[in-house]
Amino acid sequence: LRRSPGEVCFPGGKSEAIDKDEIDTALREAKEEVGLQPEKVEVICRLVPGIDKMNHLVTPVVGFIEDTFQAIPNPDEVSDVFVVPLEYFVKPLNYKTLPYKTSSGYFRRMHCFIYDDHKNKMSFKIWGLTAHFAVFLALVIFGKRPTFEVDYDLDNLISSSESNFMNLYASLYERKKSNL
């Protein structure tokens, strides 16, 4: 990618006029980036959005695909495709927390995972918004406490994630308003 070269991320990108919603955008981008045909995806839900480092709203779309899917990476956008078991994001082998300050001045923790893909003899650093979404999805799916600290009330996962997002969005909005 031109904007974040070398970083690990899920397929995705900006919506286009032909997209009727976030699901259309996600399916179109997955087809463009890794050759995943939209009809081969059973869309399950959208997760609570996040805000990327450029202050863009990012809405994750979750779906099931066959485990036989073979990615065909678009060389203009993707250098490698790899699979990580979802459970890795609640029970990782190589994890650390990175403190960071949001653009609105809040201190948060950033998850950072190193995943060793033994099959291809490569290691991948998964961090930032990608790690955030993977952790949240793993928490929802498995319903168990991770081996590390998270910024959620695990007994009220959905509502606490919505509150976290709304607080982040409100502080970003206030910051933009004060700069006018």
Supply the range of the domain harboring residue 11: 1-81
Cβ contact 119:130 at 8 Å: no
Looking at the structure, tell me whether residues 24 and 108 fall in a common domain: no
Looking at the structure, tell me whether residues 17 and 88 fall in a common domain: no
As a whole number of angstroms, the distance between CA 55 and CA 178 comes to: 16
Kindly report the number of other CB atoms within 10 A of residue 116's CB atom: 12
Cβ contact 158:120 at 8 Å: no
Alpha carbon of 124 to those of 81, 104, 146: distances in Å?
A: 10, 29, 20
Q: How many domains does the chain have?
A: 2
Looking at the structure, tell me whether residues 27 and 104 fall in a common domain: no
Domain stop point among 45, 63, 81: 81
Tallying the residues shown for the chain, one arrives at 180
Looking at the structure, tell me whether residues 86 and 25 fall in a common domain: no
pLDDT per residue as tens digits for the range 88-143: 999 999 999 988 876 666 677 899 999 999 988 999 999 999 999 999 999 999 99
pTM for the whole structure: 0.89
Looking at the structure, tell me whether residues 25 and 10 fall in a common domain: yes
Cβ contact 165:50 at 8 Å: yes
Looking at the structure, tell me whether residues 86 and 136 fall in a common domain: yes
Looking at the structure, tell me whether residues 89 and 73 fall in a common domain: no
pLDDT per residue as tens digits for the range 69-100: 999 999 999 999 999 999 999 999 999 998 88
Residues ≥6 apart with Cβ < 8 Å to 57: 49, 50, 51
Looking at the structure, tell me whether residues 93 and 154 fall in a common domain: yes
